[in-house]
Amino acid sequence: MRLGMIGLGKMGGNMARRLRRAGIEVVGFNQDVKATDALASEVGLIPADSAEALVTKLDATRVVWLMLPAGDITESYVQQMQGLLEPGDVLIDGANSYYKDSMRRGELLAESGILFVDAGVSGGVWGLENGYALMVGAAEEAFANVQPIIEALAPERDQGWIHAGPVGSGHFVKMIHNGIEYGMMQAYAEGFSLMKGREDFNLDLAEIAETWRHGSVVRSWLLDLTARVLAEDQQLADVDPFVADSGEGRWTALEGVEQGIPTPIMSLALMARFASQGQQDYSGKLLAMMRNQFGGHSIGSPDD
């Protein structure tokens, strides 16, 4: 089997490696040609110097996987693929795209007879060795064409992937997955912060994390990663406390509003990320001035 992959960054590159291990041929295109050349040399990826060239190196039924940042870049390639692929071909979007965009793109491509698949992918840089969790939205016909690819990327052929439903459902499930991830990460961060704050106990946070990894009801892969971090450095003095949000946490919070379903944990975790990004600085300054006005409390400077 052969597929085309556009986007050979950290995720896309490792996915190409895993596919090659499974014996699937991969035609790859990346804006930075160095990534393409490296994979060609390392795993026998078939290089293409453009999206057009990539399509010409695929046989019908063509399958092209976009592993690009969500948003404008993915949108531009979806539109480009509409003009390059033929009826019956399959286009997969593996980005963290908004599920409503995926539904729209599926309808757009259907006008040209092109099948669309939205694949939520979890696993990060560990996916190469451990496999990726895959949440796939697609019509039955489209999924049948890509199932061998999904099975090759998953931890096991029969584990770690789901054909969630029609187009849009894969990215919807991945969106909720990431919202839950926000909440779990925030809970771990707050708990360890509280333990670090009790300096009179002289707690070994690395040992606590390692203990919790075995038999505890709060054990998880996120805890495994936390234990790994703390084993190397418990103080984290040189770490910038800036936590980005990819967009999926925002979409999850908005989904809760749209459905009228309370999601306070996920929403507050999102707010905590906003707080880390410095966007609260002005409100904090104004709060300090209000407190000064009614109570005469002193006002500090950034250097204090």
Of 114, 4, 98, 20, which is closest to residue 57 (Cα–Cα)?
A: 4
CA distances from 131 to 156, 228, 298 (A): 8, 20, 55
Is a pLDDT exceeding 70 seen at residue 170? yes
174 is catalytic: yes
How far is 192 from 196, CA to CA, in rounded Å? 6
For residue range 40-71, list pLDDT tens digits in order. 999 999 999 999 999 999 999 999 999 999 99
HEC letters along 32-79: CHHHHHHHHHHHCCEECCCHHHHHHCCCCCCEEEECCCCCHHHHHHHH
Mean pLDDT, the chain, integer: 94
Task: Say if residues 108 and 78 touch (Cβ distance below 8 Å).
Answer: yes
Is a pLDDT exceeding 60 seen at residue 303? no
pLDDT, position 301: 63
pLDDT, position 181: 93
pLDDT, position 277: 86
pLDDT, position 246: 77
Of 92, 49, 102, which is closest to residue 71 (Cα–Cα)?
A: 102
Higher pLDDT, 273 or 246: 273
196 is catalytic: no
Count CB neighbours of 213 within 10 A.
16
How far is 51 from 201, CA to CA, in rounded Å? 59
**For residues 78-96, average pLDDT:** 97
Is a pLDDT exceeding 90 seen at residue 18? yes
How far is 113 from 110, CA to CA, in rounded Å? 5
Q: For the whole prediction, is pTM greater than 0.85? A: yes
Which residue out of 25, 151, 181, 210 is catalytically annotated?
Answer: 181
CATH 3.40.50.720 fits 2-166, yes or no: yes
For residue range 104-154, list pLDDT tens digits in order. 999 999 999 999 999 999 998 899 999 999 999 999 999 999 999 999 999
Which residue out of 174, 207, 255, 285 is catalytically annotated?
Answer: 174
Is a pLDDT exceeding 90 seen at residue 245? no
Is a pLDDT exceeding 70 seen at residue 275? yes
* pLDDT band per the 50, 70, 90 thresholds, residue 89: very high
Tokens 């418990």 label which residue? 234
Q: Domain spans of the chain?
A: 2-166, 175-279
Task: Indicate the fold that domain 175-279 takes in CATH.
Answer: N-(1-d-carboxylethyl)-l-norvaline Dehydrogenase; domain 2 (1.10.1040)
SS3 241: coil
